[in-house]
Amino acid sequence: MSDLTKTPGNEGGGAGAAEVPPELIKAVPVRHYGRWLGAVVVLALLAMLVVAFAGADIDWSVVGSYLDDDTIVAGARRTLWITLLSMLIGVGLGVTLAVMRLSKNPVLSGVAWGYIWFFRGTPVLVQLVLWFNLSYVFDTLNLGFYKDEMNDVMTPFLAALLGLGLNEAAYMAEIARAGILSVDQGQTEAAHALGMSRARTTRRIVLPQAMRVIIPPTGNEFINMLKTSSLAYVIYYEELFRAADTISSRNLAVMELLFVATVWYLILTTVFSIGQFYLERYYAKGSSRQLPPTPWQRIRAQLTSFRPKNTVGGVTV
C-alpha cells in the first residue's frame, strides 16, 4: 500500500521563502474609453424611457392600490395553482412517456412517440379551446363508475388543467429522455454488475444523475408555464390576467391593471428562479468539485475579504 499521507516536496518550500520576492509591478492600466461611452449611451436611453413613462397618462397610484386587491391576489393564486398542477401532470406523465419511448416494446415507444408528435405539434391555445368545447362532441362523460353531463365536468379549470398539463407532458418527455440518455452506460453496467435490478438501477443510479440535466430546462418550463397559463384567459379561467381584465373593464384603467398583472408575473417568476437555483445546487452534488456559492455565501465572502489584494503574475501575495 502506498502511503497517502506523505506530502512531497516539503523541503522545497523553505528554500523558496528565503529568496527575495520580485518587485511588484506598478503599471498604468489601459483606459477603456469605449466602455465609458457605451455606459453613457445606455444610461441615457434608460433615462429617456423612465421620463417617457413618468410623463405618460398612467395613474401610478392606481397601479399601487390594485397590487393587493382581492381579485388580483385570488387571480395570482389561481395562476400559481394551475401552474403547479399542470407541471405536476407534465412531469409525471412526461417521465412516464420518456421511459416508454426508451422501452424495447415497440407498442409502448410508438404510442409515446405519437403522443409527443400530436401534443407538441399543435398550439396550446387550440388545445385549450378544444378541451373547453368537448361537450359539442361528447354531451355526457361516462367512465363506467362515473357519469355526468360533459358541460358540468369540463369547467374552465379542468379544461385549463388538461390543456396545459397534457401539452406540457410532451415537452417534459423530451427533456426527461435527454436526461436519461445523458447518463453514461457504464453507470448502468456497474450497478448491474453489483447485482442491482433494472428498476433499482433506474431509481437509485440513473434518475438521480439524469436530474442534473433535467432540472434546468424543467425550471425553464415552470417559468414558461406561469406565463402560458395566461392563455386560459380565453376559456374564462379566472387567473391573474383575467382578473386584471375583469377589473379594468369596470374601471377602464387598462394600462394600470396590465402593469399590476406584469408586476405579479415578475414576482412569481422571480420566486421560482430563486427556488430553481437551490434545486440545481442540490443536484450538482458530486458532479463539480465545488458547489457554486449561494448569494448569501457570496455576500459573506465579500464582507470578510475587503482587505486590499496585491497580486504578482496572478498569484496573491
Partner 1 sequence: MTGHPMVKAERVHKSFGLIPVLRGIDLEVRAGEVFCVVGPSGSGKSTFLRCINHLEKINGGRLYVDGQLVGYRQKGDKLYEMREREVAAQRRDIGMVFQRFNLFPHMTAAQNVMEAPMQVKGLRRAEARERAEQLLARVGLADRMDTYPSQLSGGQQQRVAIARALAMDPKLMLFDEPTSALDPELVGEVLDVMRGLAEEGMTMIVVTHEMGFAREVGDSLVFMDEGVVVESGRPRDVLGSPRHERTRAFLSKVL
Site residues (vs partner 1, CB under 8 A): 1-2, 4-5, 184, 186-187, 189-198, 200, 204-205, 208-209, 212, 283, 285-289
CB of 192 to partner 1, least distance (A): 7
Q: Smallest distance from the beta carbon of 16 to partner 1, in angstroms? A: 23
CB nearer to partner 1: pick between 34 and 195: 195
Closest distance of CB 193 from partner 1, Å: 4
Report the candidate in 291, 309, 279 with the shortest Cα–Cα distance to residue 24.
309
Q: Which is nearer to partner 1, 86 or 209 (CB)?
A: 209
User: Nearer to partner 1 by C-beta: 73 or 196?
Assistant: 196
Give the C-alpha separation, 214 to 176, whole Å: 6
Q: Which is nearer to partner 1, 139 or 189 (CB)?
A: 189
- Minimum distance from CB of 291 to partner 1 (Å)? 11
In the complex, the smallest distance separating the C-beta of residue 197 from partner 1, rounded to whole angstroms, is 5
Q: How far is the CB of 178 from partner 1 (least distance, A)?
A: 18
Q: d(Cα 77, Cα 93) in Å, to the nearest integer?
A: 24
Using the minimum distance from each CB to partner 1, give the nearer residue, 152 or 189. Answer: 189
Phi-psi region of 50 (alpha: psi -120 to 50; beta: other; left: phi over 0): alpha
Residue 208 in contact with residue 254, Cβ under 8 Å? no
**Phi, psi of 148, deg, nearest 5:** -160, 165
SS3 label, residue 90: helix
Cell of 10: 516539503
Task: Provide CB contacts within 8 A for 190, sequence distance 6+.
Answer: 205
* Closer CB to partner 1, 192 or 227, in the complex: 192
Taking the complex as a whole, the smallest distance from the CB of residue 63 to partner 1 amounts, in Å, to: 47
C-beta of 77 vs 200, nearer to partner 1:
200
Least distance (Å) between residue 96 CB and partner 1: 20
The CB density around residue 166, as the number of other CB atoms within 10 Å, is 19
Nearer to partner 1, 4 or 315 (CB): 4
CA torsion sign for 241, 92, 118, 134 is negative
Pair 172, 94: CB distance under 8 Å: yes
> In this structure, are residues 247 and 71 in contact, taking their beta carbons and an 8 Å threshold?
yes
Give, in order, the Cα–Cα distances in Å from 129 to each of 170, 218, 298: 18, 25, 47
